[in-house]
Every structure is written in structure tokens, then in C-alpha cells.
Amino acid sequence: MRLVFAAAASLVATSLVSGALAQPLPAPASYPPVVGAKGVVATHTLSLAMADQIAHGAVEACHKMGFHTTITVLDASGALKAFLRDDMTGPHTISLSKDKAYTAITLSNRFATSGTFATARSSTLGSPMTNIQGVVGVAGGVPIKYRGEVIGGVGSSGAVGGDKDELCSQAGIDAVADQLR
């Protein structure tokens, strides 16, 4: 008898729980979220699809110029969003492309690209900025902007010279320019 009672209680509990879980979720109060609410900051984010288009566009542009490059696309927080390492690129290009993209994001309020930052600092060969981890003084990083808002950054490393890397990074952004208006 106890076994039958325990089985029946278990069945009732299971049906109550599954019934509660089967209920539809309530609709959000508003979507997109209301802008300007106290304590709320609305931002735009870089999609995976766009990051992928940027990375592929940059590699293709570099190929047309005769270069092989590593491309890193970061979101506005500096987190990795897309990464492509072309054939015949050195191992150092992995971290340097990321650092160039990070520099472009971090210093975008003062410098148009990592190259303008490097020029302002009279930097040579990508010397790191000792007080900000991941920031380097070499060209190749360009911020990605949507209506003036920085939503990410792209960094290229492997083309001969930072100026060529910067062209590759910008070409990746140009590949999605119509979506950034």
C-alpha cells in the first residue's frame, strides 16, 4: 500500500511541476527596451554574422594586396567575436592582431585607429603601453562603429607593415559598411 501511495504522490508531483513548466513565458514589457529609463544604458552589439563578414572581408582584401594575415574581431567589451588565421602567418600574429583590435576599442575616444595612437606615441615595432594590458603602439587596429557608437574592433597582423594591416582591417569594416549606417 505504501508503494502505491508513494507512486501516486510522485505522479501528482510530476504532473504539477510539468504543468507549471509548460506555461508560456510572459511577454516582455517592451522590446526593444525603453531607452532613457533610470539606470539603464542602451547599447548596440556586434553580431556573430557581422563579425564573420568583417573577418572574411579583411582576409580577402589582404589576399588581393598579396598579403597573408591574422584577423581578430572583438566586441565592444574586448571579448573575442571572430578569428581567422590565414596560411603562412607567424605565431606572433595571433596575439598581436587581438592587441591591435583591443587598442582600437580602448583608445577610440582619443585616436581614430591604433596607427594614429602609435604615431602620437612615436612607437616602434608595437611597443606595449606598460600601464594598460593589451594596448600596443602599432598600426592595424580599427574600431567598428555603428552610428558613432563603438561596437567592436578589428585587428590585422601579418601584412608587411602596420599601415598594410590597417588597410586590411578597414577593408573588413568596409565589407559591411551598408549595415553600419
Contacts of 27 (CB under 8 A, 6+ apart): none
d(CA 58, CA 159): 11
Closest by CA to 162, choosing from 130, 127, 131, is: 127
pLDDT at position 17? 47
Task: Give one word for 158, left, alpha or beta, with left for phi > 0 and alpha for psi -120 to 50.
Answer: left
Quick one: pLDDT at residue 110?
Answer: 87
pLDDT of 33: 53
pLDDT: which is higher, 113 or 2: 113
Per mean pLDDT, which range of 4-13, 56-65, 100-109, 127-136 is the poorest? 4-13
Average pLDDT estimate for 98-108: 95
Q: Which fold has domain 48-180?
A: Beta-Lactamase (3.30.450)
CA 162/CA 174 separation, integer angstroms: 18
Domain residue limits, the chain: 48-180
pLDDT value of residue 87: 95
Q: What is the mean pLDDT of the chain?
A: 84
Q: Read off the pLDDT of residues 58-70 as tens digits, 9 standing for 90 and up.
A: 999 999 999 999 9
pLDDT of residue 165: 97
- State the number of CA atoms in the 13 A half-sphere of 133 facing the CB: 1
